[in-house]
Structure 1
Amino acid sequence: MARLAEGIRVIDADAHLTERHDLFTERAPKGYEDKVPRVERVDGQDMWVIEGKTFGKAGSGGTIDHQGKKHPFRSSQGGSWGIADVHPAAWDTRERVRLMDELGIDAQVLYPNSIGIGGQNLYNAVKDKSAVRLCLELYNDAMSEVQEESGNRLLPMPIMPAWDVDACVKEAARCAELGFRGVNMTADPQDSGSPDLGDPAWDPFWEACAGLDLPVHFHIGASQTALSYFGSTYWPSQDDSVKPAIGGASLFQNNSRVLLNSAYCGMFDRHPNLKMVSVESGIGWVPFMLEAMDYELEENAPHWFDKLQKRPSEYFRDNWVATFWFETGRGDLQHLIDSVGEDNVMFETDFPHPTCLHPDPIGMVSEKISTLRPETQRKVMGGNAAKLYRI
């Protein structure tokens, strides 16, 4: 078996934590127990309910069973599985840390499941924004407890109240005080009535995140607009088992529009220390997009190209990081990572989702990772993440 370089500390930059059914109710202030999300049995399925309406299935959030066997999406997470069917490490943080020890993973960055990967299922379901703000804070408080109890081995990304710029600024400051190492942001706050992220109205939030050393994370599928890719890119005649594969692959490409828009809108000229992370998007598309974003802007808007302080591709180098897990670079992974930038790449496993590396994530990538230069191995497998998340 191929051996990795000495001194590698593996940090998984993207995994998911299924929400426990009592996550909100056990933390609700007195008198608010019936105003926060709870799980009820509806037509034979556990569903998240708030204000008398369902806003998502309280499912497994994963495809790994109790014996550690991985199952196809349609017969597990995308089928009838509930939280009792999935491996306990999907939702139990003590089991997660135990599994990480078994797999040789030092730390994990965590994202939600049922409430929406960017929190969109939760905040789009509730009209009373003061109520949803409470729910969001309860979720972030719970994730703060997860981080503290794990000794900073589990690093959840807190959700921002994307419908309100000022509220995002305040919540980012609160999350920094709680010890979070970044924030989880939707790519499309306009879905909730806010300006889009290129609008200067968001400058106070970018300033806060840069000043508080909170990288802003954009996970694929973290908005209703982004999820439209999942449900609309396949041809209707495709087999039902094939549709999730087409939808999933399409989601990877969706993050390229976030990169393009962020580079073109000038936000990094105004906030040069702002860091952003493209999560679960892979890196294979990045080299082409770096060329395309320079070429297209210079060809189509030369006045704007000259107005920016840097070439668009240079904003990726200075302000972005991306995650990868299964890619091989078509036989030359070193060339791919060099094209992206070895300081701009982090390793992930996506546990316990359908495309996750399981049951032996490090073993599954060792052969291709061992072909990289030792210093590149150390950076992409954990060094870059350790620096970004201050661990």
Structure 2
Amino acid sequence: MRMDDMILVSVDDHMIEPPDMYKSHVPAKWRDQAPRVVRNDRGVDEWVFQGERASTPFGMAATVGWPPEEWGFNPGAYTELRPGCFDVHERVKDMNANGVLASMCFPTMAGWNARTFAESHDKDLALVMLEAYNDWAIDEWCAAYPGRFIPLSLVPMWDVALAAGEVRRVGKKGCRAISFLETPHVQGYPSFLSGYWDPMLQALCDEDMVLCLHIGAGFDVINRPPEAPVDHLMVLACQISAITAQDLLFGPTLRRFPDLRVALSEGGIGWVPFYFDRIDRHYSNQAWLHHDEDFAGRLPSEVFRDHILACFITDPSGLMLRDRIGIDIIAWECDYPHTDTTWPESPEFSWDEFQQAGCTDEEVNKITSENACRFFGWDPFEYTPKDQATVGALRALATDVDTTRMPRQQWRKRNEAAGIGVFQ
């Protein structure tokens, strides 16, 4: 196998939603109450819903195409962004340039778990807009290029019955996963151990969909010093995935739902072998806790492998220990357009790590696409023949795509001149 022979399916990317996204998906009687983008007195674009500014910046961490010294969490305007952030046609061009066949895109304006809607005071209106959001994501963004995007949706986390209903609704539309809180109790909701979420989890099993728990919302589970820099959030984020795994494994969730599948989105993999050592030793050593029935005589690490997909962007140590993790539960991510992304050199980054770890061709195929497609029930070749799905074949379609980095003000000047990112 050569690098150009790889088939890349990314199970974690993000979209910066365009301001006109609600135009075709909100019933006419509510259209004037849909979330909208306004430019504040500092010249910064912001989403506003029910009179309140969304707590998630419109373009959080969307710095792809900028020089690293300008990276940060808050681009000021759509015109400062690489167009692939918010334009699905440009996104597919950028995917081709990076040799990526398919992508699962997480929200931004709504928060990775519908935070914007959950924080609003009129929950009936919020539900209308959440449904419109999901319809846009499935029927417009994903449907624009069949086979290139794995549909993912949000649920109204403020009401478990509504959440279960939305799972069933979007499942009928072909959605493959939902994005949800990794540590619900931190945000004031019942924990996974409580049993409260069971109707939603049952709906996921019935619809054969995946529960994606993306890092980020659970940061407050770590009591950081008030002086802690942003580095603490960025470096320690993966540790929250371990806490999430603990809630799932040592609570009733996985016993009640033997068919439940959970992706630890952007959670990394390097921590998993240590965690396995710890939980398996704990299980066998602490007999007084009587976990035999909980795990049906199996090791906790084995139950983890039955249910959970461990996802990474770049993780040399984790790949070295892939046999301890389980080669069938590892999946690759690109994280476009965030600061952690390896775009436009994801094949080079990944191939180098695979070579350093001594991965076989079979292992590379599993990590880059096969595991993800099996886990999410996604046929990568339904629309794209296998020989046209490789890194080399896709990059051959993108020889005209300029991947040069430019300062944000240069992006603004160029985009404004071309009318790109300028919304009326």
Which residue matches 1:153? 148
Q: TM (normalized to structure 2)? A: 0.81
- The question of 1:228 aligning with 2:220 is answered yes
- The question of 1:113 aligning with 2:108 is answered yes
Which residue matches 1:264? 250
- The question of 1:354 aligning with 2:354 is answered no
Distance in 2, matches of 1:315 and 1:354, equals 33
Q: Confirm or deny: 8 A CA contact 1:163 1:193 kept in the other structure.
A: no
Offset at residue 32 of structure 1 (A): 1.2
Q: Confirm or deny: 8 A CA contact 1:165 1:194 kept in the other structure.
A: no
1:53–1:356 distance in 2 versus 1, CA, 3 Å: same
Which amino acid in the other structure matches residue 317 of structure 2? G
Distance in 2, matches of 1:88 and 1:229, equals 35
Cα deviation, 1:224-272, whole Å, max 9, x if unaligned, reads: xx13368x63672x6xxxx333211111111111100100112222211
- The question of 1:367 aligning with 2:352 is answered yes
What is the SS of the residue equivalent to 2:81? coil
Alignment of 1:204-243 (within 5 A): 204-221=199-216, 223=217, 226-228=218-220, 233=224, 236=227, 243=229
Distance in 1, matches of 2:133 and 2:75, equals 25
Distance in 1, matches of 2:213 and 2:251, equals 17
Distance in 1, matches of 2:184 and 2:317, equals 33
1:124–1:300 distance in 2 versus 1, CA, 3 Å: farther
What is the SS of the residue equivalent to 2:68? coil
Offset at residue 162 of structure 1 (A): 1.2
Q: 2:316 aligns with which of 328, 340, 351?
A: 328
Q: 2:239 aligns with which of 253, 260, 267?
A: 253
Cα deviation, 1:46-93, whole Å, max 9, x if unaligned, reads: 22111211123653344446xx34434xx3442443221111111111
Q: Which stretch of the first structure deviates more once superposed, 319-328 or 203-212?
A: 203-212
Which residue matches 1:380? 367
Distance in 1, matches of 2:56 and 2:260, equals 35
Percent identity at matched positions?
25
1:269–1:85 distance in 2 versus 1, CA, 3 Å: same
Cα deviation, 1:342-377, whole Å, max 9, x if unaligned, reads: 100001111110111133111122122133011110
Offset at residue 34 of structure 1 (A): 3.1
Q: Confirm or deny: 8 A CA contact 2:105 2:149 kept in the other structure.
A: yes
1:43–1:128 distance in 2 versus 1, CA, 3 Å: same
Offset at residue 340 of structure 1 (A): 0.9
Alignment of 1:147-186 (within 5 A): 147-186=142-181
1:300–1:104 distance in 2 versus 1, CA, 3 Å: same
Which residue matches 2:126? 132
What is the SS of the residue equivalent to 2:136? helix
Q: Which stretch of the first structure deviates more once superposed, 104-113 or 294-303?
A: 294-303
Q: 2:278 aligns with which of 292, 302, 316?
A: 292
What is the SS of the residue equivalent to 1:346? strand
1:269–1:103 distance in 2 versus 1, CA, 3 Å: same
1:13–1:351 distance in 2 versus 1, CA, 3 Å: same
Q: TM (normalized to structure 1)? A: 0.88
Which residue matches 1:90? 85
1:304–1:206 distance in 2 versus 1, CA, 3 Å: farther
Offset at residue 294 of structure 1 (A): 3.0
Q: Confirm or deny: 8 A CA contact 1:15 1:351 kept in the other structure.
A: yes
Offset at residue 304 of structure 1 (A): 4.0
What is the SS of the residue equivalent to 1:283? coil
Q: Confirm or deny: 8 A CA contact 1:16 1:112 kept in the other structure.
A: yes
Q: CA RMSD for the aligned pairs?
A: 2.3
Offset at residue 300 of structure 1 (A): 5.5
Which residue matches 1:50? 49
Distance in 1, matches of 2:81 and 2:198, equals 41
Q: Confirm or deny: 8 A CA contact 1:163 1:192 kept in the other structure.
A: no
Q: Confirm or deny: 8 A CA contact 2:59 2:74 kept in the other structure.
A: no
Offset at residue 301 of structure 1 (A): 7.1
Distance in 2, matches of 1:229 and 1:24, equals 34
Alignment of 1:336-351 (within 5 A): 336-351=321-336
The structure showing larger relative contact order (alpha-carbon pairs under 8 Å, at least 6 residues apart) is 2
Q: Confirm or deny: 8 A CA contact 2:10 2:332 kept in the other structure.
A: yes
Which amino acid in the other structure matches residue 203 of structure 2? A
Which residue matches 2:68? 71
1:35–1:20 distance in 2 versus 1, CA, 3 Å: same
Q: Confirm or deny: 8 A CA contact 1:162 1:192 kept in the other structure.
A: no
Cα deviation, 1:174-210, whole Å, max 9, x if unaligned, reads: 1111111111111244466642222223222222212
1:80–1:385 distance in 2 versus 1, CA, 3 Å: closer
Which residue matches 1:312? 300
Offset at residue 158 of structure 1 (A): 0.3
Q: Gaps (5+ residues) in structure 1?
A: none
1:312–1:30 distance in 2 versus 1, CA, 3 Å: same
What is the SS of the residue equivalent to 2:292? helix
Offset at residue 123 of structure 1 (A): 2.6
Distance in 2, matches of 1:192 and 1:26, equals 32
Distance in 2, matches of 1:200 and 1:20, equals 37
Q: Confirm or deny: 8 A CA contact 2:118 2:157 kept in the other structure.
A: no
